[in-house]
């Protein structure tokens, strides 16, 4: 997919994230908008996954550790044919499979996540299995910067380096905000690159909204033989909707009809300018 096509996709995904969050009257708006460009490039460029052959033992794995931004994952999976988009009309509704965190009841979801600090260990185990079985699949996991203080992340980071998992790539959606405030004020994890480097990872920085950079960075995997790869994606919480950008209240704020209409107008303009 060309970068122009990817750019149109990103706008389309942002519209849909908002649409279904408004419909459900719930969701993690800011974080879904910060990670959507990453998911766009993963699912439309990088990952070897196929909705019709999702059980293939050779597929690449994507495990979303920051499970709360499930709306981003659901709209991307729907667009990749894992389920009809109309299913998302039921998001968070009584008896729906489409709950507010990733669940294996939804076709295309690898693991049930939502409690933070779980994705990296699950990914390490899956990557070790790939090495044991001499498979070529790769394992990707998306971490939030707010979840990094969970100690289990650092346990897993040690194991990933110990087992030389160059088939593992973690992407940090570094939007610098969490529910209480700036991540640096809540529990500073910077310099996060130095920490992962010290743990034995090969680290690269990208602009998490620059589709070309994201493509090229994923294409360059693994960054070093025998080392796990960490992509620190610098992102903006609420990206794409000006009044949401870097605003704490949109962590899980739901736009009203007027705000929603304004957001769509902005997104239309972005689409035209691609």
Partner 1 sequence: MDATIENIAVTNKANLEVFSATLQKLARHDRDIIVVTSDSRGSGKLVPFGQSFPDQIVEVGIAEQNLVGVAAGLASAGKKVFAVSPACFLTARALEQIKNDVAYSNNAVKLIGISAGVSYGALGSTHHSLHDFAVLRTINNLIVVAPADNFETEQAIMLAAETDLPVYLRFGKKSMPLLSTEETTFEFGKGRVIKEGSDLVIIATGETVAPALEASEKLQKESGIEATIVSMHTIKPLDYNLIAKVAADGKPIITVEEHSVYGGLGEACASFLLENNFRNRFKIIGIPDEYTVTGSQQEIFNHYGISGDGITAAALTLRKG
Task: Give the footprint of partner 1 on this chain (CB under 8 A).
Answer: 57, 104, 110-115, 117-118, 120-130, 132-133, 151-152, 155-156, 158-159, 162-163
User: Between 125 and 222, whose beta carbon lies closer to partner 1?
Assistant: 125
CB neighbour list of residue 204: distance below 8 Å, 6 or more residues apart: 217, 220, 223, 229, 230, 231, 232
Question: What distance in Å separates the CA atoms of residue 143 and residue 146, rounded to the nearest whole number?
Answer: 9
Q: How far is the CB of 89 from partner 1 (least distance, A)?
A: 25
Q: How far is the CB of 151 from partner 1 (least distance, A)?
A: 7
Q: How far is the CB of 90 from partner 1 (least distance, A)?
A: 20
User: Between 112 and 246, whose beta carbon lies closer to partner 1?
Assistant: 112
Question: What distance in Å separates the CA atoms of residue 5 and residue 270, rounded to the nearest whole number?
Answer: 13
Q: How far is the CB of 116 from partner 1 (least distance, A)?
A: 10
Angstrom CA distances, 41 to 22, 25, 36, 47, 179, stand at 25, 27, 9, 9, 26
Q: Are 14 and 34 spatial neighbours (Cβ–Cβ below 8 Å)?
A: no
User: Between 57 and 84, whose beta carbon lies closer to partner 1?
Assistant: 57
Angstrom CA distances, 237 to 9, 194, 247, stand at 19, 23, 7
Burial class (CB in 10 A: 0-12, 13-18, 19+), 264: middle
Q: How far is the CB of 120 from partner 1 (least distance, A)?
A: 8
Q: Are 174 and 232 spatial neighbours (Cβ–Cβ below 8 Å)?
A: yes
User: Between 29 and 111, whose beta carbon lies closer to partner 1?
Assistant: 111
Q: How far is the CB of 274 from partner 1 (least distance, A)?
A: 38
User: Between 24 and 157, whose beta carbon lies closer to partner 1?
Assistant: 157
User: Between 104 and 194, whose beta carbon lies closer to partner 1?
Assistant: 104
Which 8-state DSSP code applies to residue 88?
A: G
Angstrom CA distances, 93 to 24, 74, 84, 107, stand at 7, 15, 16, 18
């Amino acid at each position: 997919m060309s970068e122009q096509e990817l750019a149109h996709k990103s706008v389309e995904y942002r519209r849909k994230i908002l649409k279904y969050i408004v419909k459900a009257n719930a969701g993690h708006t800011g974080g879904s908008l910060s990670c959507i460009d990453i998911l766009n490039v993963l699912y439309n460029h990088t990952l070897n996954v196929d909705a019709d052959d999702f059980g293939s033992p050779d597929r690449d794995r994507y495990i979303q550790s920051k499970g709360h931004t499930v709306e981003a994952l659901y709209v991307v999976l729907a667009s990749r044919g894992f389920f009809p988009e109309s299913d998302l009309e039921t998001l968070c509704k009584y008896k729906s499979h489409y709950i507010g965190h990733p669940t294996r009841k939804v076709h295309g979801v690898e693991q049930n996540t939502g409690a933070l600090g779980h994705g990296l260990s699950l990914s390490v185990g899956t990557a070790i299995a790939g090495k044991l079985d001499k498979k070529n699949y790769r394992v990707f996991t998306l971490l939030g910067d707010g979840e990094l203080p969970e100690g289990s992340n650092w346990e897993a980071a040690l194991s990933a380096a110990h087992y030389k998992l160059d088939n593992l790539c973690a992407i940090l959606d570094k939007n610098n905000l969490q529910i209480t405030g700036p991540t640096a004020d809540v529990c500073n994890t910077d310099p996060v690159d130095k920490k992962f480097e010290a743990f034995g990872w090969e680290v690269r920085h990208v602009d998490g909204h620059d589709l070309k950079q994201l493509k090229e960075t994923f294409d360059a995997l693994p960054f070093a033989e025998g080392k796990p790869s960490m992509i620190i994606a610098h992102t903006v919480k609420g990206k794409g909707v000006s009044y949401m950008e870097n605003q704490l209240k949109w962590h899980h704020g739901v736009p009203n009809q007027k705000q929603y209409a304004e957001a769509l107008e902005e997104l239309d303009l972005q689409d035209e300018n691609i």
